Structure 1
Amino acid sequence: MSTTTSPPRLSKQPDERRDEIVDATRALFAERGVAKVSVTEIAKRVGVTRGLIYHYFPDRDALIDLIFEDHITEFVDAVSRWDADRETGNVQKALLDCVVMFRHHLRAKDMFRQDLGHPENAGLYNRFVDRAVRAIVDRLRVTTVEAYARAHHIEIEHVGEVFYVLVYGLIGLVRSTPDIEDQVLVAIVRQTLHLDVGARPGA
């Protein structure tokens, strides 16, 4: 009597499976919206059990936070490129280029970010913006702010807090008033930070 054995079941490496879960979550969020996607649907899309999803991520919010980080990293990297490319000492041009860069990322046709703007996702939107602004301000403090401080006296106190309020306010203003002129936004930044746009050496 002969017996047959089933071929060994192939299992994927942990990193590969984790990436599949993240990719499926990102795709489902884009297709159906963040609020409508459950862990069960994510598991079904990947072809695994709910339990395996929870093996990699403690809850649905952890998956959302990971996708947040993708977008935040993209924005922060753009800030770094702007800082590296800006013309030393030309504060006015740097401000205008920064405003253009901000507009580009806020207008990006990304379904995930657009979905966060819906009223039912207000809590998620606030969480996303708070984390994004803090990451942007942290990067600005160790790049642009330090460079400016080497050439000019910084006229404001509580630098990090002022930048947080400024960036948060600019995001809200551009979203609520998309036709606001770039020069108006530049003036708001300049006046809030008391920037010396006439002095060219150093920063």
Structure 2
Amino acid sequence: MMHSVTSGTNAPAFEEYADSVWPSLYRSAYLLTANHADAEDIAQQTLLKAYRSWSRIIRSDSPDAYVRRMLTNTFLSVRRPKRRRLELLTDAPPEYGAAQRPHGPEDRLTLWPHVKALPPRQRAVIVLRYYEDLSEQEIADILGCSRGNVKSTAHRALKVLRAALDPERTDGRENHHEW
């Protein structure tokens, strides 16, 4: 995977790390971008940045959290032209992490097109919270914002998702689903 750029003394350790983290990194990138090609680009960019900062990353308390933050920041900073690739709206996301939310395959297929349509920051919060099962504080650390900001962003995103899934319920009352 990284053979052409890895040549230092840390190269074997990094290659082992990159190979082990790739499936999770790619899954997160796809959930953020909703596009396979963009997900691969962002995941690869993240690994390249991680390789360049590898000596700092391995000294951190949590290398995985460090790399996840790099991935999220890369996603949020990429400003691509508005070229959209056609993908089926029922394209299911890659397999979920520990959270396994929403619960069944039908729920995932119903919800996924609406998650894909969220603005990037809202999508990032929803993906990190409900697909990757991170705490609000972990998300705040990744996004470089306050826990309150994460909560309000999640609230706005969930409100949009609830309205999309239940358009008849527009009376302003909260419809508390377990996501």
**TM-score, normalised by the number of residues in structure 2:** 0.28
**Looking at both structures, which has the greater relative contact order when contacts are Cα pairs under 8 Å and sequence separation is at least 6?**
1
Which of the two has higher C-alpha Rg?
A: 1
Identify the structure with the greater helix proportion: 1
**TM-score, normalised by the number of residues in structure 1:** 0.26
